Amino acid sequence: MKRIFLLIVIGCAACFNQPLKAQYYYYNDRYYDSEVIVELGASVGVMNCFTDLGGKKGSGKKFIKDLNWKNAKPDAGIFAAIMYQNKIGLRLEGTFGNVGAYDSILKPYVPNTSGRYERNLSFKSKINDLQLSVEIHPLFFFNDYTDKQPPQLSPYIVAGIGYFSFDPQAKLNGTWFRLQPLHTEGEGFAEYPYRKPYKLNQINYPVGAGLRYELSEAFNLRVELIYRILTTDYLDDVSTTYISSDLYASYLTPYQAAIAQQLADRKKEITPGLVAVPGEQRGDPKDKDAFFSIQLKVGITLGREKRKGY
């Protein structure tokens, strides 16, 4: 995915270097602003997720009420955008990071975790996210800056469509194992016809908001939050109920079956002798998983023309 994105950006940059036929208007005492400007940039920040695992005390609340900032991990990205009259733009962006969560983070809240701490599951996953989004700046819709300098600060909203890859893993005896091939909840097993194997490349729907600050006619700085709405509940490989550990031997190799049995039910690691009962709740299929990023972006603006005499 990273190679595809880089090829797209290079192609866009080549197109952007071509002369743009556009109307020019006032930007500041030294530059005219074009109707169409191009922006290339990079970003750094943090990525976090909302899944069945970890969170805060209680039975698991929705959205931000169950957010645990201890799970935040670094991310980075690159983007290319075309803006029209600073009002609306089309942006192509790649974001690369990691997410993860673990039930053991709830240890300080025992016994107020409704069994989530005792469940003792965990995961981590790399995230490669490519999105095409529309960026809207309301200030430029409600004010006319044709012959006066635009504001240095501009709030905006973002929405679009994305395509991302993930691959949940869990650690056992010092080794990380990929969870999707282990079918920990019986995905694809004949005994569970409605539990289909989940794909590791899927569509998402990014929505968010940000604040842009014009550092100069060539550079701008942004702070931005983007939330990805997912259609899967398996970002963490946890969604429904426990299955009988005997089933793994019917669908997996002996080695895979042994690993799957240990990673699907980890209660005994906390409470020796405790084993999950088939059909017992493992996750909550009613709420899909999600992830989000908070980033600081630096953009280079192309398309403004220097006024004569400067």
Please give the Cα distance from 254 to 236 (Å, whole number). Answer: 24
Supply the mean pLDDT for the chain.
88
Write the CB contacts of 197 (distance below 8 Å, at least 6 apart in sequence). Answer: 180, 183, 187, 188
Range with the lowest mean pLDDT among 6-10, 27-31, 98-102, 157-161?
A: 6-10
Contact at 8 Å (CB) between 159 and 207?
yes
- Residue burial 74-111, b: 16+ Cβ < 10 Å; e: rest: ebebbbbbbbebbbebebbbbbbbbbbbbbebbeeeee
Q: What is the mean pLDDT of residues 6-12?
A: 48
More confident residue, 209 or 2: 209
Residue 307 scores a pLDDT above 90: no
**CB within 8 Å of 8: residues ≥ 6 apart:** 80, 92
Is 299 inside a domain boundary? yes
pLDDT-derived band at 13, boundaries 50, 70, 90: very low
The alpha carbon torsion through 36, 42, 46, 48 (nearest 10 deg) reads 60
pLDDT score, position 61: 57
24 is a domain residue: no
pLDDT number for residue 310? 62
Query: Would you say 218 and 108 are in contact if contact means Cβ atoms under 8 Å apart?
Result: no
Domain interval for residue 60: 2-18+32-306
Domain count along the chain: 1
Give the Cα separation of 48 and 95 in Å (integer). Answer: 13
Q: What is the pTM (predicted TM-score) of this model? A: 0.87
pLDDT of residue 63: 57
Angle at 252 between CA 251 and CA 254, to 5 degrees: 130
Q: What is the DSSP letter of 308?
A: T
Expressed in percent and rounded to 5, the helix, strand and coil fractions of the chain are 20, 40, 40
Looking at residue 118, which CATH number applies to its domain? 2.40.160.20
For residue 27, tell me if it sits in a domain. Answer: no
Is residue 26 assigned to a domain? no
pLDDT at 186: 97
At residue 16 the predicted structure's pLDDT band, cuts being 50, 70 and 90, is: very low
Which percentage of the chain shows pLDDT scores above 70? Answer: 87
pLDDT in tens, 45-83: 999 999 999 876 655 555 566 778 889 999 999 999 999
Structural domain contains residue 94: yes
**Residues 238 and 283 sit within 8 Å (Cβ to Cβ):** yes
Confidence at residue 109, expressed as pLDDT on a 0 to 100 scale: 85
pLDDT at 15: 44
- Residue range 81-104: mean pLDDT, rounded: 95
Q: Which residue has the higher pLDDT, 5 or 75?
A: 75
Say what the pLDDT of residue 20 is: 43
- C-alpha radius of gyration, the chain, whole number: 24
Ranking 71-75, 211-215, 304-308 by mean pLDDT, the lowest is 304-308
Cα 305 to Cα 218: distance, rounded to the nearest angstrom: 11
Asked whether residue 25 is assigned to any structural domain, the reply reads no
> In 3D, which of 49, 103, 104, 40 has the Cα closest to residue 75?
49
What element of type H or E holds 250? helix 248-251
Q: Is residue 268 part of a domain?
A: yes
69 with 301: CB under 8 angstroms? no
Residue linked to tokens 């990205």 = 77
Calculate mean pLDDT across residues 9-19: 46
Stretch among 27-36, 52-61, 137-146, 253-262 having the lowest mean pLDDT: 52-61
CB 177 within 8 A of CB 200: no
Evaluate the CA torsion angle 174, 176, 182, 184 in order and state its sign. positive
Q: Are 226 and 134 in contact (CB under 8 A)?
A: no
